[in-house]
Amino acid sequence: MKLLATSFALFSLSLFIAGCAGNDGNVEAGNIVNPTINSPAGNKMKITIGSVLFAVILEDNATASAFRAMLPLTITMEELNGNEKFYYLQDTLPSNASPGGNIQPGDLMLYGNNCVVLFYEGFSTSYSYTPIGHIENPSGLAAAVGTGNATVKFEME
């Protein structure tokens, strides 16, 4: 019986590893390729920058819900500090900010109660943000947003 249980565990582990060894959610010429994170319905969003499409997992919080209710939304985000794009919304969103700590490329955050920030470079910060979501695979994000202002389209999948 112990041998059977061990064999089943090894078989299950090999299936898990094989499933994870495939495509890791890379973005190809404007297409989302097999996103790596499965999320509940309504928690997936896409961001289009030029012809490049990024899959986003939304946080399970009031800020993300309020942002989702605004979609679809196409905005021109301004460049700041060589690591982020930002845009001030006309309306405010609920916020529950905490110190940013280690920002990761692809983090989508709210600064204050109306400034949407998309980070394309990682760094440490003491500024406070409310998370909205994160890009599943931010590979190519910095190139897509470029060095100046960027037109970004947010929409639900």
Mean pLDDT on 47-62? 97
Mean pLDDT of 147-152: 96
Of the candidate CATH numbers 3.40.605.10, 1.10.3210.10, 2.40.30.10, 2.40.100.20, the domain formed by 23-156 belongs to: 2.40.100.20
Instruction: Specify the pTM.
Output: 0.75
Tell me whether strands 73-80 and 52-58 are parallel, antiparallel or unpaired. Answer: unpaired
Q: Domain-by-domain residue ranges, the chain?
A: 23-156
For residues 3-24, average pLDDT: 36
- List, as one string, the DSSP characters of 5-54: HHHHHHHHHHHHHHHHTS----EETTEE---S----TT-EEEEEETTEEE
Confidence label for 157 from pLDDT (cuts 50, 70 and 90): confident
